[in-house]
Amino acid sequence: MHQLDLFSTAGTSPLPMAVKAGPKSKVKVRAVAPPAEPNLGKKRGRKSLKEFSEDPDLIMELDKLVLDKQYYSISEVAAMFKVNTSLIRYWENEFDILQPKKNRKGDRLFRQEDIHHLKLIYHLLRERKYTIEGAKQKLKEDRKLAARNFEMVQALLKVRGFLTELKDQL
């Protein structure tokens, strides 16, 4: 016996059908959606800290950037650090050392000094895995010491990069 399908052409159905017996032996027929294709490496939403830590050379890339302008917009700064602008605004609210200028319209304008402070905050939060409160405490205890330690780590990373290049040439 041939089944008659009212919603498709003869013998072909756009969606596979599932038959389910209901109460009092009524038969329910419903369409079953095909399985979704897997996301090919694309993920929606916010990145995890693990994904951020996969780019350990971000600070070194930032050191290579030439800061030739006097002021940078928040979108330019967010692009430098590969974060959302909302995160930069959040850090501004949380950390007292970030004091970007604001124009009459209310747009934030970051100076080179502010970008240096952001590098230090990024280092503490993303690379050293401090919490917000821990990073605040570290900066409050001795800002100069934290900045000096950060600069020493960066210098040592440069030396390490140079030595690995030298080793590869041998």
SS3 per residue for the chain: CCCCCCCCCCCCCCCCEEEEECHHHCEEEEECCCCCCCCCCCCCCCCCHHHHCCCCCHHHHHHHCCCCCCCEEHHHHHHHHCCCHHHHHHHHHHCCCCCCEECCCCCEEECHHHHHHHHHHHHHHHHCCCCHHHHHHHHHHCHHHHHHHHHHHHHHHHHHHHHHHHHHHC
**Domain boundaries defined on the chain:** 49-164
- Does the domain at residues 49-164 carry the CATH identifier 1.10.1660.10? yes
Specify the pTM. Answer: 0.55
Instruction: Give the pLDDT confidence of 3-47 residue by residue, as tens digits.
Output: 655 555 555 545 555 555 555 656 555 555 555 555 555 666 665
Q: Is the pLDDT of residue 128 over 60?
A: yes
pLDDT at 6: 57
Instruction: Give the pLDDT confidence of 45-59 residue by residue, as tens digits.
Output: 665 655 555 555 666
